[in-house]
């Protein structure tokens, strides 16, 4: 999608469609503009339809023979309550109403309520992403017509550098959505490795894929235990982006990459949504989506390692028994008291591997616990960190990205829940506070001083309903936050 700015407002601009964001109770300016440009009928239309600018309100009028021929007004709500996400939701609502039309789409919002650059990027991203529809697995895809050019009105050229980040970021989010949306018979651990290979080839990154034997040599007993009940080989993926200029920061991003989680012998039964467990590689999708975006954006002074211990959690005669004791690559022994707490086992060895690279910070993303979904629902991810600065950076990156996140506590006393009678640790604590003990488990595999953050995306990876910017299905959560974090837009 071509994206540009135009310093003029809607009074002179001509294109095919126009979306105008209107604040609740502040109709005078937009109404005058519409009346001047399109005549009195527009004002009457507002009154007849009782449009007042509330959130989720929209009003479309068709102006035959005009240029634009369709104007879509969307409500932004009260200015004092306005968040960047409200801009995004309203933009997505407008974009949905524009479906079926091709051509040039103009958008006019009260940009100056935020930093113009941030507002413009957030709205443009929301519009492109709300057009995304995954039809790869339909025999006959619906034909969907969408505008192919976006013009942000009332904004000067000085924001061009930000404009250039929008398409690469959206391509990263869309890649993540496609990876998460692919069924487990299509997207296997080898498929994830193949995706990493494509990114490496397209953008000239370094890629190492460790096979099972390589992982055995490194003593990755926790990761390999999860994989041993599957017919598919594990693939440990390590993709590296390095800026041309000498890097001043070295970062590691780890994504949980379970291409299917059956639960193992603690099989997922009842309402545990086993049929959705293709999304259990959402962390790796975010990591690879971010890798794609970052390699296209080419930020300077930074080196980023993307790490995925990809495998499946399945059942066969060689699968882990509940009760097995295994050894991770840092020498710690783990009693597997629940085979369904498998993500943390794969992450344990990935964290040990990442620490050996001596990064300045490590962030992991994982669809780790159902408990996180109970705590925060499907719109907010959980954040745990041993470092306040890193946590704060991620919180502001997420805010800038329009992705919601909430920091959670890591009380030392909860570590007691992970004590094993036989081994150094067990992999599952009590049901209560389950997302916290999961984070505390991960912390056991860090070298102490490394700043680290863990983001539990079990809720945000998938949306049951169409929510505007996020159509129903895979959301691509995490890509935008990671890109803003790496490129220091926080
Ligand atoms: N992949 C699941 C977590 C999950 C559950 C994500 C529901 C999204 C929706 C993870 O591997 C898992 O099974 N966790 C268990 C942990 C428990 C056994 C301690 C869970 O949350 O039930
Ligand atoms: Mg599980
Ligand atoms: Zn899982």
Contact predicate 202/308, CB 8 Å? no
Length of the chain in terms of residues written: 490
Residue whose CB lies within 8 A of the most ligand 1 atoms, among 369, 430, 457, for a mutation test = 369
Active site residue 242: no
pLDDT for position 67? 86
Contact predicate 195/291, CB 8 Å? no
φ, ψ dihedrals at 350, nearest 5°: -65, -40
**Other CB atoms within 10 A of residue 76 CB:** 24
**List of domains in the chain:** 2-154 (3.40.220.10), 168-488 (3.40.630.10)
How many angstroms separate the alpha carbon of residue 249 from the centre of ligand 2?
34
| DSSP sequence for 324-360 | -EEE-TTS-EEE-S-TT--HHHHHHHHHHHHHHT--S
Residue whose CB lies within 8 A of the most ligand 1 atoms, among 266, 339, 340, 431, for a mutation test = 340
Three-state SS at 212: helix
Q: Element (H or E) spanning 411, and its range?
A: none
CA-based nearest residue to 314, from 280, 359, 353, 351: 280
d(Cα 225, Cα 228) in Å, to the nearest integer?
Answer: 5
Q: Choose the catalytic residue: 128, 344, 399, 480.
A: 344
Structural tokens at position 487: 């490129």
pLDDT for position 279? 98
Write out the residues surrounding ion ligand 2, Cβ under 5 A.
Answer: 261, 340, 342
CA-based nearest residue to 333, from 343, 342, 345: 345
Q: At what angle do helices 28-38 and 40-48 cross, to 10 degrees?
A: 130
How many angstroms separate the alpha carbon of residue 342 from the centre of ligand 3?
6
Count of helices and strands (H, E) across the chain = 14, 20
Instruction: Looking at the CA of residue 462, tell me the nearest atom of ligand 1.
Output: 8
How many angstroms separate the alpha carbon of residue 408 from the centre of ligand 1?
18
Query: What residue owns the CA closest to ligand 1's atom 17?
Result: 341
Query: What residue owns the CA closest to ligand 1's atom 16?
Result: 341
Contact predicate 77/86, CB 8 Å? yes
Contact predicate 383/394, CB 8 Å? yes
pLDDT for position 158? 87
User: CB within 8 A of 408, min separation 6: which ones?
Assistant: 375, 382, 383, 384, 435, 436, 439
Instruction: Looking at the CA of residue 280, tell me the nearest atom of ligand 1.
Output: 1
| DSSP sequence for 354-368 | HHHT--SEEEEEE--
How many angstroms separate the alpha carbon of residue 343 from the centre of ligand 1?
8
The most distant pair of C-alpha atoms in the chain lies apart, rounded to whole Å, by 80
How many angstroms separate the alpha carbon of residue 353 from the centre of ligand 1?
23
Structural tokens at position 186: 């299509």
d(Cα 288, Cα 240) in Å, to the nearest integer?
Answer: 11
Instruction: Looking at the CA of residue 461, tell me the nearest atom of ligand 1.
Output: 8
Task: Give the side-chain half-sphere CA count within 13 A for 381.
Answer: 34
Active site residue 344: yes
Ligand showing the shortest atom-to-Cα distance for residue 279: 1
C-alpha Rg value of the chain to the nearest Å = 24
d(Cα 343, Cα 281) in Å, to the nearest integer?
Answer: 10
Structural tokens at position 389: 């600065």
Mean pLDDT split into 10-residue runs, the chain, 490 residues: 90 91 90 84 82 94 83 95 93 91 93 93 95 94 92 92 95 98 98 98 98 98 98 98 96 99 98 96 99 98 98 98 98 98 99 98 98 98 98 96 96 98 98 98 94 98 88 95 93
Three-state SS at 70: strand
pLDDT for position 45? 83
pLDDT for position 353? 98
Task: Find the residues whose C-beta lies inside 6 A of ligand 1.
Answer: 261, 280, 338, 340-343, 367-371, 373, 428, 434, 458
Q: At what angle do helices 388-401 and 479-486 cross, to 10 degrees?
A: 120
Residue whose CB lies within 8 A of the most ligand 1 atoms, among 225, 370, 441, 459, for a mutation test = 370
Query: What residue owns the CA closest to ligand 1's atom 9?
Result: 370
Q: Choose the catalytic residue: 89, 177, 268, 278.
A: 268
pLDDT for position 157? 86
φ, ψ dihedrals at 355, nearest 5°: -60, -35
d(Cα 263, Cα 260) in Å, to the nearest integer?
Answer: 9
Q: How far is CA 246 from the centre of its chain?
A: 28
How many angstroms separate the alpha carbon of residue 427 from the centre of ligand 1?
12
How many angstroms separate the alpha carbon of residue 261 from the centre of ligand 2?
6
């Amino acid at each position: 999608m071509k994206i540009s700015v135009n310093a003029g407002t809607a009074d002179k601009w001509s294109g095919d469609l126009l979306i105008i964001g209107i604040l609740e109770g502040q109709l005078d300016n937009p109404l005058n503009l519409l009346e001047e440009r399109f005549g009195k009928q527009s004002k009457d239309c507002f009154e007849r339809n009782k449009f007042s600018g509330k959130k989720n309100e929209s009003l479309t009028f068709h102006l035959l023979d005009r240029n634009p021929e369709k104007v879509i007004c969307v409500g932004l709500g009260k200015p004092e309550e306005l968040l960047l996400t409200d801009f995004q939701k309203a933009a997505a609502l407008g974009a949905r109403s524009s479906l079926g039309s091709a051509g040039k789409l103009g958008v006019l919002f009260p940009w100056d309520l935020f930093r113009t650059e941030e507002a413009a990027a957030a709205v443009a991203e929301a519009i492109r992403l709300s057009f995304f529809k995954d039809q790869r697995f339909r025999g006959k895809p619906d034909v969907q017509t969408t505008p192919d050019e976006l013009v942000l009105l009332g904004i000067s050229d000085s924001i061009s550098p930000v404009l250039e980040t929008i398409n690469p970021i959206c391509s990263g989010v869309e890649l993540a959505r496609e990876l998460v949306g692919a069924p487990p018979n299509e997207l296997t651990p080898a498929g994830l490795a193949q995706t990493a290979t494509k990114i490496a080839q397209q953008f000239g990154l370094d890629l190492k894929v460790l096979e099972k034997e390589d992982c055995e040599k490194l003593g990755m007993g926790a990761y390999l235990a999860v994989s041993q009940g599957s017919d598919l080989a594990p693939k440990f993926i390590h993709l590296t982006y390095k800026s041309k200029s000498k890097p001043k920061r070295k970062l590691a991003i780890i994504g949980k990459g379970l291409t299917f989680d059956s639960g193992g012998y603690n099989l997922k039964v009842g309402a545990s949504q086993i049929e959705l467990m293709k999304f259990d590689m959402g962390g790796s999708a975010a990591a690879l989506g971010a890798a794609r975006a970052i390699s296209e954006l080419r930020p300077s002074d930074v080196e980023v390692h993307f790490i995925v211990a990809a495998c499946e959690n399945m059942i066969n005669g060689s699968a882990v028994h509940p009760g097995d004791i295994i050894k991770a690559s840092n020498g710690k022994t783990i009693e597997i008291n629940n085979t369904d707490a498998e993500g943390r086992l794969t992450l344990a060895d990935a964290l040990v591997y990442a620490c050996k690279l001596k990064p300045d910070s490590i962030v992991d993303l994982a669809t780790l616990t159902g408990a996180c979904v109970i705590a925060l629902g499907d719109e907010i991810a959980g954040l745990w960190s041993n470092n306040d600065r890193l946590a704060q950076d991620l919180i502001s990156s997420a805010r800038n990205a329009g992705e919601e996140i909430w920091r959670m506590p890591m009380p030392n006393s909860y570590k007691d829940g992970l004590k094993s009678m036989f081994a150094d640790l067990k992999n599952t604590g009590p049901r209560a506070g389950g997302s916290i003990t999961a984070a505390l488990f991960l912390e056991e595999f860090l070298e102490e001083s490394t700043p680290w953050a863990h983001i539990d995306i079990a809720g945000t990876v998938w949306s049951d309903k169409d929510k505007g910017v996020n159509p129903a299905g895979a959301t691509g959560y995490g890509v935008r936050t990671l890109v803003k974090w790496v490129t220091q837009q926080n």
